[in-house]
Amino acid sequence: MLEIANLSVSYGKHRAVDGVSLSVAMREIVVILGANGSGKTSLLRAAGGLQPMATDARIALAGQDLRRLRAHQIVEAGLALVPEGRGIFGELTVRENLQLGAFAKRARAKEAENLQRVLTLFPRLAERMNQAARTMSGGEQQMVAIGRALMSAPDILLLDEPSLGLSPLMCGELFGALEHVREAGIGVLLVEQNAKRSLAIADRGYLIENGRIVGQGSAAALRDDPAVQRAYLGVATDKH
């Protein structure tokens, strides 16, 4: 289980994340919903070791303290981040991008098995293994980014806005794939603007505003909450 407690992130005098606590279990999809600028990306970057955090924060995976580890050590511990914008190597082929994901010691023994899992999850990649990643569509590049993260054999996968800019069809494929990731025993912490689709596949969710958690619950409870419907699902609710 990933456990985050009292996590705060500041940029100068601006507090982007303020005392956030949350958890993600294995075989669970947890979504974080919030407006742009609410602190979602800063939260994920801090958890992934890419952003400094306040010293009194706690981040642990299966009981192992991750706070003082570097980003590559955090991957070795079992936490993989797919950042907004994907961060793939455009000049490299699909195969080379995926192989880079298996650099962690924990992943090397089962590299072939993990590759087969990724290609089963994203059959399009099997057809494009020798294609330069930059020549692919946005949705296909997102598949490469997620596949590369899965090649590190993570226990928990962090995803920052994976559906951003994708077509409705590609979004459907992406969210379907995340359900299969959960079935494989991996926990998913998902930051996503598409609240309707993410709540449809999630087990639980958190609401974040101005860097603070302002609500949480099961995905079903959040879907049925009139305030959530108004703010995130585009549903007009009766005020009377």
Strands 156-160 and 187-191 turn out to be parallel
108: containing domain: 26-38+77-232
**What is the structure's pLDDT at 235?**
61
Q: Is the pLDDT of residue 86 over 80?
A: no
- Dihedral over alpha carbons 170, 142, 175, 103 (to 10 degrees): 150
- The answer to whether residue 143 is domain-embedded is yes
- Domains in the chain: how many in total? 1
Q: Is the pLDDT of residue 26 over 60?
A: yes
**What is the structure's pLDDT at 236?**
56
- The answer to whether residue 46 is domain-embedded is no
- The answer to whether residue 63 is domain-embedded is no
- The answer to whether residue 220 is domain-embedded is yes
- The answer to whether residue 13 is domain-embedded is no
**What is the structure's pLDDT at 230?**
87
- The answer to whether residue 17 is domain-embedded is no
- Average pLDDT value over all residues in the chain: 91
**What is the structure's pLDDT at 87?**
79
CATH number at residue 151: 3.40.50.300
- The answer to whether residue 134 is domain-embedded is yes
Span 20-43, mean pLDDT? 94
Cα 191 to Cα 210: distance, rounded to the nearest angstrom: 15
**What is the structure's pLDDT at 240?**
41
CA-based R_g, the chain, Å: 18
Span 64-78, mean pLDDT? 93
- The answer to whether residue 171 is domain-embedded is yes
pLDDT tens sequence across 182-191: 999 999 999 9
Q: Is the pLDDT of residue 124 over 70?
A: yes
Least confident range of 124-128, 186-190, 200-204: 124-128
